[in-house]
Amino acid sequence: MSDPRPTPDPSEATETADETWKVFPLSAYLGLIKDMAHFSVKSVNSNAEAGGIRLTSTAALQRPYLAVRTLLGAGQTVELDYLKNAGTTATLTKQLRAAMAGKAPPEEGPTLCAAYMQARDKPMQTGLDQVSPRLRQILLPRPDAPNGYLAVTPLSAAGTASLTSQWVRDHNAARKAGTKDKATHRRIRTATLGFGGSNPQNVGSLIRDLQTLIVAEGPTESPGLRAALALHYKGPELRLPLQVVAAYADWRAEVTAAHAGQMPTDLPHRDAEREKVQAIAQAVMASVEKQCLLLIRHRDRLPSCEQPDGEPSRFAREVPAWRKGLLEPGWRNSDWARETGKHLATALLHHRNAKGESIGMGDETRVHLGRMIEEVLS
């Protein structure tokens, strides 16, 4: 685009309704507009060499997230910004925005708007032949790339920040004015991230919006829900009652010491051992019942799957049927008591006290203990 008018003196000024309008040659605006971009290198590091990227509607996407391309896909206009502030750049940009808002002198406004809109239809990238060492780089796996990785430098788009900031201001203002229900529309909190050095305008004219961040509370940890989810995906735990197990271990140690290191097999000793082992099994099942209360408390937050009879289950599909059967009878088949007895007997054999000592039984005792426990579960 050529400049059909004689070059005016920059000192000349025209009064508008809002402020003094400084007159510049059209070539000054064209030089600015030529390199205006959506993404600026200086938004990452203000000391980096100027560079940036401008997208057009051909890059538009329709996706459920916020980005320049998705905004373009939704028919939104994302403002461009200058890449480097030098001389009259800030003033030219300010007046260009005034022209786009219909606040420029009528003899200049339409020409500036046309030049700006024409530039928006032309993709551009500049200053990116070499990546500045001041910029962050992320290595992404890419099998077809040299050395198997692609180096990516994230850049910010101040125009996106401008749209977001305006939306937040409008939302909060509407809530304050009462046009939005305060019970269902919370005030959106913002904070300022003061980057850009001592003169943030060097980064861009939209730096204030880029510095404005939406403050969102991070999720707080819920120990109860976390335990319920672990229970859902892993199934009930076989929690051995430490005091009862310790009493059984002491009794067994006393009996074997009195019988040359062997456990007697007469009826009185077998009955006494059965009573102690079954007390352990009953305590384990009581613990399982308590775990069930945790699932009930958080049942609305847990996934579900069906039991064999079609009823919903509190446990994930990957949980073994015998473990689900500890709480849900629908999973108990004819072998459930025997299989569960074996698992509980194994836990008892492998249990160690605070000193790291086991009860002192060999694997051959597993079947014997399992049958005692099976009597309680049947």
> Is residue 1 situated within a structural domain?
no
Whether residue 4 is contained in a domain is answered as no
State residue 19's pLDDT score: 65
Task: Tell how far CA 59 is from the center of its chain.
Answer: 27
Asked if residue 14 has pLDDT above 70, the reply is: no
Please indicate whether residue 184 or residue 70 has the higher confidence score (pLDDT).
70
Of 185, 215, 245, at which residue does a domain stop? 215
Task: Please check whether residue 60 lies inside any domain of the structure.
Answer: yes
47: three-class secondary structure by DSSP: coil
Q: Which residues pair with 39 in a beta bridge?
A: 53, 157
Tokens of 83: 């890449």
228 and 147 both lie in a single domain: no
Residue 51: its H or E element: none
153-158 mean pLDDT: 92
Specify the residue for token string 């910004």: 81
Per-residue pLDDT averaged across 166-191, rounded? 88
For the cut 60, the answer to whether the pLDDT of residue 308 exceeds it is yes
Query: Per the structure, how many domains does the chain have?
Result: 2
Q: Interior CA angle at 186 toward 183 and 190, to 5°?
A: 165
Does 6 fall in a domain?
A: no
Q: Which of 181, 215, 249 is the last residue of a domain?
A: 215
Residue range(s) defining the domain that contains residue 235 = 223-377
- Does residue 116 lie in a domain region? yes
Rounded Cα distance, 326 and 237, in Å? 9
Return the pLDDT at 1: 36
Write down the pLDDT at residue 241.
92
Domain boundary among the residues 215, 238, 261 is at: 215
Specify whether 201 is located in the same domain as 313. Answer: no
Beta bridge partners of 20: 15
Mean pLDDT across 140-167: 93
Q: How confident is the model at residue 351 (pLDDT cuts 50, 70, 90)?
A: confident
- Do residues 319 and 182 share a domain? no
Overall average pLDDT of the 108-127 stretch? 94
pLDDT of residue 288: 92
- Is residue 89 domain-resident? yes
